[in-house]
Amino acid sequence: MDDLDNDYDEVPVTPGQGEQENAESDDEQQDWRMLAAIGSKKSLPKRGEKEYEPTGSASDRNNLDESRQAMYTALNGERQHTSKVHISGIWYPHLRKAKVLVARGPHFKSIGKADSSGVIWLLPEEVIYLVERGSMSLYNARGDAKISLQACYAACLGACQGQERYLVYAYLKRLGFIVQRATTFDESGEERIVQKPDSCRIQRIWKFLVQKFDSFCTGLRLAIARKIPSFGPIICGGLWRSYDSIYKELQIIPFYSHRGSDLTPKSTVAPFRVAYNVWKPRPSFKKSNPGEPDFRVVVVNAQKDKMPTPAQTGALFSTLPVFHDSTSTSQQRLREGYKNVIIGVVDYGIISFITLGDVSFGDEHIYDRHAASRLSKHHTTKKRQA
């Protein structure tokens, strides 16, 4: 109990509490008094204001004491679950999988994989997750001894490709997400080919033509401009008809573009490979036909792994499908990326998620739209006046 004193705000959120969280609550401390309030007629406490500061008053101290006491009471409670949905399984160390003896309960909607004979097998992270939350009893291969939680960790964690990956898996599972291993989970797994080769070829031909035309124009310009000093300007004193044409002339810096980029997947090296596919919680989820995942998660260790270089990021992006379709706005494409991936950064058990998005500011036309919006605004104000 004593060691809990120091880090009580880091205790993982259970699904029950998660439902009561509002959208703003992720960074705030848990108010444990709500546990004490459940079942009684007391209403739930309101969340503090953003600019709240402790006043050091007696009521503040009283609130804190009450909250702490409620937490202790909650943690002291015995964990129970009905025997109806209790699962039991056998761990086979050489297979690195557990065979489920009795598959019951809602977990199997998103967990486990059935073989041809209908027997459901669990992956090691699924085993630890179920045993840890008390939903499953695990037995040794002979089936005569129950494996304790500690022994379960010792047996299964090695097969999870690192502790960090299990922590991220369990964290997302507890929050209600559906999490499955991606094909690139193992070192040997191959990337899927995401893009169709047809569009790829057209884009390559287009890129080739654009390059040829560009080099032709540059050559022509160089030939004509022998007298012009080589130190600019780009925008000469001539007459310009629009800012758009000025911007086009200014665009001389080469940039990485989605349109011309090579679309064949490159090989990725751990840790910068997609470890898990993640779906938002949905009742219609089918293990056999999960559909495109909502998120793809890469897991890294903050102590060992630094941020990826663009070569590593590029290889990772090349294995991902395009996130945005043609209906997305340039705003969305720039903020969320044309493709994106989530990096779960694990530092001594603390998980921080960061999205990396593949963007190209050069592909988006920003000035164009301003002109349009300004014109339309001007138009509407005129109308109103009339």
Partner 1 sequence: MKKRNLNAIYHSPLPVEVVALPPLVPHNPISVAYYVYQLVFVPFLWGFKRRRRLTAYMELYTDSVSSYVSSIAVGSYEDMQELWKAGFFGKGTQSRSDPTWVLRTSKRLQEASGETEIVAPEEVTARRRAARKKFKNARALVEQGVVSNPADPEKVETNEERRGQKLTRAEDMALRDSEGKVRQLEKLQLTFQEAFFLAYALDIIDIYDGRTGDLVTVPYLLGLLMPDWSPDNSFIVNYVVYHHYRSHGWCVRNGVKFGVDYLLYKRGPPFSHAEFGVIVIPLYSDESKNQLMRRDWYWSSGVNRVVGGVKKTMVLCYVKVPDCIDKWHSVEELLKMYEVREVVLRRWIPSRNRD
Q: Smallest distance, Å, CB 269 to partner 1? A: 12
For position 348 contacting partner 1 by CB under 8 A, the verdict is no
Q: Match 């804190």 to its residue by tokens.
A: 64
- Which CB atom, from 69 or from 267, has the smaller least distance to partner 1? 267
16 Cβ contact list (under 8 Å, min separation 6): none
Q: Which of residues 21-50 bind partner 1 (CB under 8 A)?
A: 21, 23, 25-26
Query: Which range, of 67-75, 77-85, 189-197, 335-343, touches partner 1 by CB under 8 A?
Result: 335-343
Q: Smallest distance, Å, CB 116 to partner 1? A: 35
d(C-alpha 13, C-alpha 11), whole Å: 6
Are 134 and 148 a contacting pair, CB within 8 Å? Answer: no
Are 299 and 165 a contacting pair, CB within 8 Å? Answer: yes
For position 247 contacting partner 1 by CB under 8 A, the verdict is yes
Q: Which of residues 280-319 bind partner 1 (CB under 8 A)?
A: 280-281, 294-295, 300, 302, 306-311, 313-314
Q: Match 């000469």 to its residue by tokens.
A: 236
Instruction: Figure out which of the listed residues 231, 292, 384, 385 binds partner 1, where binding follows CB under 8 A.
Output: 231
Query: Which range, of 36-44, 144-152, 156-164, 175-183, touches partner 1 by CB under 8 A?
Result: 175-183
Are 147 and 139 a contacting pair, CB within 8 Å? Answer: yes
d(C-alpha 75, C-alpha 61), whole Å: 21
For position 250 contacting partner 1 by CB under 8 A, the verdict is yes
- Which CB atom, from 89 or from 308, has the smaller least distance to partner 1? 308
d(C-alpha 379, C-alpha 374), whole Å: 8
The DSSP letter of residue 15 is H
Query: Which candidate, 23, 22, 51, 49, places its Cα nearest to that of 34?
Result: 22
Are 180 and 290 a contacting pair, CB within 8 Å? Answer: yes
Instruction: Figure out which of the listed residues 213, 361, 376, 380 binds partner 1, where binding follows CB under 8 A.
Output: 361
Instruction: Figure out which of the listed residues 176, 197, 290, 349 binds partner 1, where binding follows CB under 8 A.
Output: 176
Instruction: Figure out which of the listed residues 291, 365, 372, 379 binds partner 1, where binding follows CB under 8 A.
Output: 365
The DSSP letter of residue 43 is P
Q: Match 């890294």 to its residue by tokens.
A: 300
Q: Smallest distance, Å, CB 382 to partner 1? A: 13
In the shown chain, the binding pattern of residues 206 to 225 toward partner 1, with x for contact by CB under 8 A and - for none, equals: ----------------x---
Total residues at the site for partner 1 (CB under 8 A)? 79
